[in-house]
Amino acid sequence: MTLLVHEIHSSQLRGYRRCRRMWDWRYRENWEPIKKPAPLEDGTVWHKALEVLYNPETWNLEVGELHRLAQAALLHEADTQRNEYLKRVGKYQLDEEEALDYGDRLSILRSMLVKLCRSLDREKYKPVFVEQEFSCAITDKYGRQLYCSCRDCTRTLEANDPGVRHEYAKQSQAAGSKAPGLPVVFSCRIDAGFEDREGFIFAVDHKSAAALYKPDSVIPELEDQLPSYLWCLQQNAYPVVGAILNQFRKAYPKPPKRLERMQQGRLYSVNKMQLTDYHTARQVFKNHDSRAFQHGLYNDYLSWLQAFGPEYDRQFTIFKTADHLEQVGRDIALQVQEVINQGPSVYPNPSQMNCQSCSFQLPCLIASGGGDVTDSLQENFIKSEPYYIQRRRQS
């Protein structure tokens, strides 16, 4: 018998806590914004590169070779996406604005990859998996498997033969469920898993952001996604002790600005507000203003870049005890018990933080005024399968 389950993901629980109305439209009704076709989807391209970089079978290759293979995967995926986009929109090449955006995004991704390769610690860690899905059962406080009889679970059961329905009805009844349903599991897809020299496992997650967390920020410790991944790995018998969060700035080092006229013997700016780095700036100064470079006119600026220059990536290591992960599992179960079956009451949770980036602003305004949101949803959104099912199909 094929195992049927009701999957819960951390993104759904986060949406549930953020705003019930948004959660209902996005995760129960499966509405998502109609996206304008783009020549490049950054996340997909980036993860294609990571799959190659963290492949356990090639991990012992020389770093330069690893970078070459990962960059080739990145460029191939980017090229594939561009060609598919051109085919969809019926064009033979990108227009000027699209080409500039495509090139800028690709430069950022390539820069992120270089930075990541430079920071690889292959003495301390080795990858044991990359881009892998995990699931684990969600149980109540008595250790009994939770079952869900929501609309979708009921339809799934009704679509199967009587023998399957009877088996699941028997299992859910034994677990104390009031109605026949499907077992509830927590599922996640983890960027990578690292093993240290003592044999302990760290979950690895890569995030890009407009601004990096401060080095002493407590936000990575408070964030809930990585602890939920660790709990799931623990339930799958992995000896987890913590997680590694790699943050990448959505920018890349650019050459220093060339001055309109020479200043203090230099052809290039030494303005500390420039988004450059030591390696990029040194190469420019050496190749294009060699006299000033050889006379040390850039030494102070280069020393500053080495010590205090703009950062484009930052790594946080987060340790979690077994007691902490046990509490994470209990918290997930409590939230899931509210979500499953007929579900909780649906209402908005308006705030500046919740609303400013929400895709459902227009239908929410209509609903809050007592209006009918049907037309707004149908015009601006499309019903689609959950993202994790789409991703599996693409894989």
Please give the Cα distance from 381 to 287 (Å, whole number): 52
CA angle (244, 250, 254) in 5-degree steps? 120
- pLDDT value for 67: 96
- pLDDT value for 45: 92
Could you write out the DSSP letters of every residue in 277-313? Answer: -HHHHHHHHHHH-HHHHHTTTTHHHHHHHHHHPPPSE
| CA distance to 68, 253, 312, 315, 391, per residue, from 75 (Å) | 10, 19, 21, 25, 20
Beta-carbon count within 10 A of 5 CB: 16
Query: In the 3-class helix/strand/coil scheme, how is 326-394 assigned residue by residue?
Result: HHHHHHHHHHHHHHCCCCCCCCCCCCHHHHCCCCCHHHHHHHHCCCCCHHHHHHHEEECCCHHHHHHHH
Q: What are phi and psi of 156, to 5 degrees?
A: -60, -45
- pLDDT value for 72: 97
Write out pLDDT tens, residues 180-194.
Answer: 889 999 999 999 999
Please give the Cα distance from 154 to 187 (Å, whole number): 20
Instruction: Name the DSSP class of 256.
Output: P
Instruction: Name the DSSP class of 26.
Output: I
- pLDDT value for 1: 43
Taking each helix axis from N to C end, the angle separating 42-53 and 96-118, rounded to the nearest 10 degrees, works out to: 30
The SS3 of residue 54 is: coil
47: pLDDT confidence band, cut at 50, 70 and 90? Answer: confident
Mean pLDDT computed over 250-254: 82
Element (H, E) at 316: strand 313-319
For the chain, the first-to-last Cα distance in angstroms comes to: 24
Are 243 and 318 in contact, with CB atoms under 8 Å apart?
Answer: yes
Give the pTM.
0.87
Query: In the 3-class helix/strand/coil scheme, how is 216-240 assigned residue by residue?
Result: CCCHHHHCCHHHHHHHHHHHCCCCE
Write out pLDDT tens, residues 291-328.
Answer: 999 999 999 999 999 999 998 888 899 999 999 999 99
Domain spans in the chain, listed from the N-terminal domain onward: 36-120, 147-183, 258-311
Using a 10 angstrom Cβ sphere, with 0-12 exposed, 13-18 middle and 19 or more buried, the burial of residue 171 is: middle
How far does CA 181 lie from the centroid of its chain? 31
Beta-carbon count within 10 A of 339 CB: 19
- pLDDT value for 342: 66
Write out pLDDT tens, residues 218-245.
Answer: 999 888 999 999 999 999 999 999 999 9
Lowest mean pLDDT among 137-151, 337-351, 353-367: 337-351
